[in-house]
Amino acid sequence: MPMLDSFLVDHVKMPAPGVRIAKTMKTPKGDTITVYDLRFAKPNEEIISEKAMHTLEHLFAGFMRDHLKNYDIIDISPMGCRTGFYMSVIGEPKTEEIIKAFKNSMDDILKTDNIPEANVYQCGSCYLHSLNAAKEVAKSILNKKIVEIDNDSLKMDINSIPNVCDVDIKKVKILGENN
Ligand code: ZN
């Protein structure tokens, strides 16, 4: 199995919240596609609750598109580890533009009073939502500074790392758990 790019960066050193260019690709016709890592939670120290993650997905995808109107966004998808989202964009927006859109989207979430497409026709688990939990996560992001994450600072030698997962799960902070 090929080693995916995201497994080459040190998640212990990764700060949050932050924005990182996960990869850039060229299509056969020469267009650039940029994939961003939009990190909400500090890996292995924080995790977004299931409901907050799902509601954020419904809201964030729309708000990011509102704030990045000059670009075609292919997709915004939650990470399986529930610490952030990946966003694929046609073109090469500056990281500062993405940080600004990220922050403004969190402001939008605080102001919203409905969850779009949370019905049996448009969502695969329409019962698994919490607007209050999503707002709790948005607030926690806005209380911090969204930083630019530099890939060079996270570089590691994958041959020298032990295959351990020694996380004390009682210490992992759940973002959006109280609603
Ligand atoms: Zn859904």
Q: What is the CATH number of the domain that holds 76?
A: 3.30.1360.80
| CA distance linking residue 84 with residue 86, whole number of Å | 7
Q: Is residue 33 assigned to a domain?
A: yes
Q: For residue 112, how far is its CA from the centre of ligand 1 (angstroms)?
A: 17
Cα 54 to middle of ligand 1, angstroms:
6
Tell me, what's the pLDDT at 8?
Answer: 81
pLDDT surpasses 70 at 108: yes
* 42 belongs to a structural domain: yes
Give the total number of structural domains in the chain.
Answer: 1
**75 found inside a domain:** yes
Q: Contact, 7 vs 23, CB < 8 A?
A: no
Range of the domain at 32: 5-149
- Strand 32-39 vs strand 84-90: parallel, antiparallel, or unpaired? antiparallel
State the chain's mean pLDDT as an integer. Answer: 94
Is 126 inside any structural domain?
Answer: yes
CA pair distance 154, 15, nearest whole angstrom: 10
Does residue 157 belong to any structural domain of this protein? no
Residues shown for the chain: 179
CA of 117 to the centre of ligand 1 (A): 7
Is residue 175 in some structural domain? no
Confidence band (pLDDT; 50, 70, 90) for 4? low
CA of 126 to the centre of ligand 1 (A): 6
**CA separation for the pair 114, 152 (Å, rounded):** 40
